[in-house]
Structure 1
Amino acid sequence: MNRLIRLCFIIGSCLVASNPLQAQVHTFEIRLGSHPVGTVEARCNINGAARHMEIKSSLETRFVSKFTDISCDYNNNVLVQSRVTRSSGKNSDDAKATITRREGARYLINVEGEQSALNNTEILHSVSDLYFAEPKQINRIYSETLGKFLVLKSLGNGEYELTLPDGKKNFYRYQKGTLKEVEVNHTLGKAFIVRTG
């Protein structure tokens, strides 16, 4: 009987250890003024030293439709690869992609066909991370969409300012370490990404 109990315990432990941890899933609503115009779903799966994040967003107004899929893979907290696909319609013929891939001590970056490289660096934090954890003590973050590092500045009280290459600023607001709202200065005007679940 004791052998049977031990065997069941060992099998159960192996099953629990082999299953990845539950995914973190956060949903957001995109608002222009007080009008909802889209959604964002952020998903993070962790399995041992591997972490996979997906951010899917869709924005639809009378004048524009925009769909973005971001996928990031980390191993031992270092970005291994990311892929961003953006399209302005429901068909993928106009899709634009940014791909970042680690190769040895450097990253190869392809932004819509233009190749570049980041040498002798490790990407430890990307913009996708901002959806899952407050970026305490981080002052530079990699944009998977733009293929470059951006300045991140803490403003206090859980608010962070992300400066884009064109000088525009996005603001990330956290409560108790959880992202509650993103203020985006967009070509359509000021948009808010507000957590709903």
Structure 2
Amino acid sequence: MPCTLKTYRLKGIVPVFLFGILPMLTAFAAAAQVSKYEIRFGNNVVGLLEVKQETAGSNRKLSIRSRVQSKLFSRMETDIHAEYRHNVLHAASMKRLNNGQETLTEKNEKGYSAVFRGDKNEKKDKKIHLPEQQITYCVSDLYFTEPRDIKKVYSETQGRMLDIQQLPDKTYALIMPEGKRNIYRYIKGRLVEVEINHQLGKAWFKLIENK
């Protein structure tokens, strides 16, 4: 009799696991989106850029991991993170691992604050106030959502709002503070290429993997 009862309980647990827990695990797995881009300068591949978006309920986290190491450039390693709650940016950060420079952004009652650390020209941290009450789109979002009808984009690196302009053929120009334009190209809503206009010349991020 005890064995029969135990067997019955086990039989009852199995459907609960299959139809209850497993779908939940599948949903969590599907909530992460990862894309990889090779970084090219001229005809040379000089690095890799990986972007990731994780969603859990009303929270959304974005991350960009950029690694450049070649004979053409000195080693450059950059990590960018952005955290949204109910589609409003609450915190963001940019850190250059090779030189320790950081930009930290945080939402507060009066808007946002951005703190710049590690700048060789500054003896102490530089802090600025951003009057925007709600930031709903930042540069990291460009890798996951085509910026239709978006006019301003928050830069986690620059710690400021940047203009973005829609161009023909599903391309968008992000206007940098010095006036240069970085071009983002989309196919069926998916970012496939970024053209970076750097002072050393043009570089490209080209999509090589999307999950």
Q: Same fold (TM over 0.5)?
A: yes
Separation in structure 2 between the aligned mates of residue 52 and residue 29 of structure 1, nearest angstrom: 22
**Cα distance 1:65–1:10, how it changes in 2: closer, same or farther (>3 A)?**
closer
Residue in structure 1 matched with residue 120 of structure 2 by the alignment:
none
Partner of residue 70, structure 1? 80
Report the Cα distance in structure 1 between the residues aligned to 2:156 and 2:199, rounded to whole angstroms: 20
- Structure 1 range deviating more: 186-195 or 56-65: 56-65
Superposition deviation, residue 105 in structure 1 = 4.0
Q: Which residue of 2 aligns with 1:96?
A: 101
Q: Which residue of 2 aligns with 1:143?
A: 155
AA aligned opposite 1:140: K
CA RMSD of aligned residues (A): 2.1
| Conservation of the 8 A alpha-carbon contact between 1:57 and 1:67 | yes
2:102 partner amino acid? A
Q: Does 1:159 align with 2:166?
A: no
TM-score by length of 1: 0.88
Question: What does residue 124 of structure 1 align with?
Answer: 136
- Output the TM-score relative to the length of structure 2: 0.83
Q: Match for residue 45 of structure 1?
A: 54
- Alignment partners' CA distance in 1, 2:131 and 2:31: 34
CA displacement at 1:55 relative to structure 2: 0.3
| 35-44 vs 10-19, which moves further | 10-19
* Greater Rg over alpha carbons, structure: 2
Distance 1:7 1:122 in 2: 46
Q: How many residues align?
A: 190
Uncovered stretches (5+) of structure 2, i.e. residues with no partner: 1-7, 118-124
- For residue 206 of structure 2, the aligned residue among 172, 180, 194 is 194
> Which amino acid letter does the alignment assign opposite residue 70 of structure 2?
T
Q: Deviations over 1:157-194 (max 9, x none)?
A: 21000000000110000000000000001122100000
Instruction: Output one character per residue of 1:82-110: Cα deviation in whole Å (capped at 9) or x when no partner.
Output: 111013x3xxxx21000001112411110
Residues 14-60 of structure 1: CA distance to partner in whole angstroms, max 9, x if unpaired?
Answer: 66447634310000000001100011000000001000111000112
**Cα distance between partner residues in 2 of 1:51 and 1:28:** 21
Distance 1:154 1:5 in 2: 57
Task: Say if 2:54 and 2:61, in contact at 8 Å, map to a contact too.
Answer: yes
CA distance in 2, matches of 1:12, 1:50: 25
Indicate the residue corresponding to 1:111 in structure 2: 116
Q: Which residue among 167, 170, 183 is the counterpart of 1:171?
A: 183
Q: What's the CA shift for 1:69?
A: 0.1
